[in-house]
């Protein structure tokens, strides 16, 4: 039952938190003396939407998590909540979302709700995720250690390539130097 304060013109009321199923609504006016007759009954159905299926983490970093799920029929948008928060942490119109600005190596509970075109919401799909550890900071000593590993292998390859190139150069020079003597008539 909803009471709508009297005002001039057309009156309206929003019916919220209706459970899925058939509903019927009739309206009557009330004044100081009595209640008027009921209007014709209007019937409508509130659809129930299943929780989005296939909610999964497709990738993660130290400060973000990539999510994906299967579409819900008639979904207008998807609301993403973190740790049962009252306000959505994000909103998507597609079947994927990147939660960002998270803390490294932290567990989160994700709830995904589909909002239908009629304004109703699905049951939530839930998933527990954890961000990756923060990367090690880059220091001069870590760069030097990594570089020394690669330089030794690279230096060996340069010496080998120089040796092969030098051998070809010597062979080419010898061929041209000996050419007149090989085919002398």
> What's residue 150's pLDDT?
62
Angle at 121 between CA 115 and CA 127, to 5 degrees: 85
- Give the chain as a DSSP string: -------SS-------SPPSEEEEE----B-SS-B------EEEEE---PPPS--EEEEE-SS-EEEE----TTEEEEEEEETT-SS-SEEESSSEEEE-SPPTT-EEEEEEEEEETTS-BPPPEEEEEEPPPPPPPP-HHHHHHHHHHHHHHHHHHHHHHHHHHHHHHHHHHHHHHHHHHHT--
pLDDT over 60 (residue 184): no
Closest CA to 64 of 88, 97, 26: 97
Q: Select the more confidently predicted residue: 115 or 185.
A: 115
59: confidence class by pLDDT, cuts 50, 70, 90: very high
> What's residue 19's pLDDT?
78
pLDDT in tens, 16-42: 777 778 888 888 888 777 888 888 998
% of the chain exceeding 70 in pLDDT:
83
Q: In what order do the strands lie in the sheet with 125-130?
A: 90-92, 75-82, 107-116, 125-130
| Coil/strand/helix, residue 149 | helix
pLDDT in tens, 63-116: 999 999 999 988 999 999 999 888 999 999 999 999 999 999 999 999 999 998
Contact 81, 110 (CB under 8 A): yes
Q: Select the more confidently predicted residue: 126 or 37.
A: 126
pLDDT in tens, 144-171: 766 666 666 666 777 777 778 777 777 7
């Amino acid at each position: 039952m909803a009471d709508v304060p009297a005002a001039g013109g057309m009156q309206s009321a929003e019916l919220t938190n209706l459970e899925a199923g058939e509903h019927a609504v009739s309206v009557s006016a009330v004044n100081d003396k009595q209640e008027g007759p009921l209007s014709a009954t209007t019937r409508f159905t509130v659809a129930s939407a299943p929780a989005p299926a296939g909610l999964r983490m497709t990738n993660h970093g130290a400060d973000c998590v990539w999510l994906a799920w299967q579409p819900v029929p008639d979904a207008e948008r998807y609301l993403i909540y973190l740790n049962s928060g009252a306000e959505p942490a994000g909103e998507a119109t597609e079947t994927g979302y990147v939660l960002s600005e998270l803390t490294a190596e932290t567990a989160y509970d994700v709830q995904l709700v589909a909002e239908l075109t009629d304004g109703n919401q699905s049951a939530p799909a839930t998933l527990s995720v954890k961000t990756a550890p923060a990367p090690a900071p880059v220091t001069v000593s870590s760069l030097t250690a990594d570089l020394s590993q690669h330089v030794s292998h690279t230096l060996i390859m340069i010496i080998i390539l120089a040796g092969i190139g030098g051998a070809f150069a010597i062979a080419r020079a010898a061929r041209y130097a000996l050419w007149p003597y090989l085919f002398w008539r």
